[in-house]
Amino acid sequence: MRAIHQRITGTAPDGRPYAASDPHLLAWVHLAEADSFLRAHARFGAHPLDQAGRDGYVADLARIGAELGVPGPPRTEAELTARITAYHSQLASTAQARQAARFLLLTPPLPALARPPYAVLAAAAVSLLPGWARRPLRLPRLPVTEAALVRPAGHAMVQAIRWAITPPPPAPAS
């Protein structure tokens, strides 16, 4: 993974150079991923995690993050939240970010048959975003729609995925 990150470089639209191996950018991706998975599990997981479980998850991810080059990854949910909050002032809404969100949500390159389940998962994912992440991307918060349609559909989709990937029980011995 580090070798792949070393090869990804470029220039942002405002002229700033960037590299996927930049420890600051690696940290942001790690933090956002950890937070997103915790939010998804809290809403759609089969069994809720208590505080020790959430902290344990963050600590497990810290080992992976450190191996990928993330400097001092957080080891508790509280540390994760504090580190994400520290990034808020650095985040900016750009036309490219909004265009990418529209592309992923409205016109993903998928076969027609895959689009409805993808739309459910995408809507469920957006419903997990905190306001500070939604507003810059101009993704509306629709509390009634999310509560009445998106969350139940997300739960149904996750249940279907869980069912599809769960191996059948072993056959009884004869």
The pLDDT tens digits for 114-149 are 999 999 999 999 999 999 999 999 999 999 999 999
Q: pLDDT over 70 for what percent of the chain?
A: 100
Token pair, residue 122, equals 């995408």
Confidence tier at 12 by pLDDT (50, 70, 90): confident
What is the model's pLDDT at position 139?
Answer: 95
Q: What's the number of CA atoms in the CB half-sphere (13 Å) around residue 38?
A: 24
pTM for this entry: 0.85
Q: pLDDT of 32-61, one tens digit each?
A: 999 999 999 999 999 999 999 999 999 999
Q: How confident is the model at residue 169 (pLDDT cuts 50, 70, 90)?
A: confident
Full DSSP string of 26-73: HHHHHHHHHHHHHHHHHHH-SS---HHHHHHHHHHHHHHHHHHT-SS-
**Total residues found in the chain within this entry:** 174
**Is the pLDDT assigned to residue 1 strictly greater than 80?**
no
Burial classification of residue 142, based on how many CB atoms lie within 10 Å of its CB (0-12 exposed, 13-18 middle, 19 or more buried): middle
Instruction: Say how far apart CA 65 and CA 58 lie, in whole Å.
Output: 10
pLDDT of the residue at 174 = 72
